[in-house]
Amino acid sequence: MNLQIIIGSTREGRRSLQFSKWIEKTAKENKNLNVELVDLIDYDLPMFNEAISPRYNPTRVLTGDVKKFLNKLNEGDAYVFVTPEYNHSLSGVLKNALDYIANELNKKPAAVASHGSVGGARAAEHLKMILSECRAVIVPINLHFNHFIDGSIDEEGNLVKELKELAYGPHTTVNTMVEELVWYAEALKIAREK
């Protein structure tokens, strides 16, 4: 099963990268998963300006990094969308990337991992609504990181010992989120194949 972790920030000095690396490391503890970081910085997506919604455009022709990005999403069975909170919402680069989606996430599970003010909760709420419109199935367990990334997660994605050992801390939440994604991915794959 392919789990993609989408890094939803391209900003210089972003903390989403080390946050995503921590989620990746934790998810790789599940031997049933192929885990991949999908970094929006690797895709030069212009501002979305297609005249017809991608979902309703049967003559749509994909080219360049848009095609590359959507083909990459098609490879996923489940997703974690990582978002910082910018101005009480998700980043513009992530919203722009999601606007290109037609059916790539259709009936596949997605979770949101947010960070920032109040754990990125406002960005997460916006992102869940957008993902729902992309036809993804939002799993009930999502991750809101209420700690400062610096000082909590190092550059390689290692969570500090004090947080890792908390009985109901972020490490427990990310493991539960991954378990939920696996369960939903297996169930939805059977349903899609019917």
Rounded to whole angstroms, the maximal C-alpha distance in the chain is 54
Number of structural domains, the chain? 1
- pLDDT value of residue 150: 83
- pLDDT value of residue 127: 98
Q: Which residues of the chain fall below pLDDT 70?
A: none
CA-CA distance, 142 to 144, in Å (whole number)? 7
In this structure, is the dihedral angle defined by the CA atoms of residues 149, 119, 16 and 24, taken in order, positive or negative?
positive
CATH code of the domain covering residue 18: 3.40.50.360
- pLDDT value of residue 194: 86
- Degrees to nearest 5, angle at CA 139 with 168 and 155: 55
Q: What is the pLDDT of residues 101-151, one digit of tens each?
A: 999 999 999 999 999 989 999 999 999 999 999 999 999 999 999 878 888
- pLDDT value of residue 132: 97
- pLDDT value of residue 32: 87
CA-CA distance, 174 to 141, in Å (whole number)? 9
Contact 119, 148 (CB under 8 A): no
- pLDDT value of residue 88: 95
- pLDDT value of residue 191: 95
- pLDDT value of residue 168: 86
Which range marks the domain in which residue 118 is found? 2-193
Reported pTM = 0.96
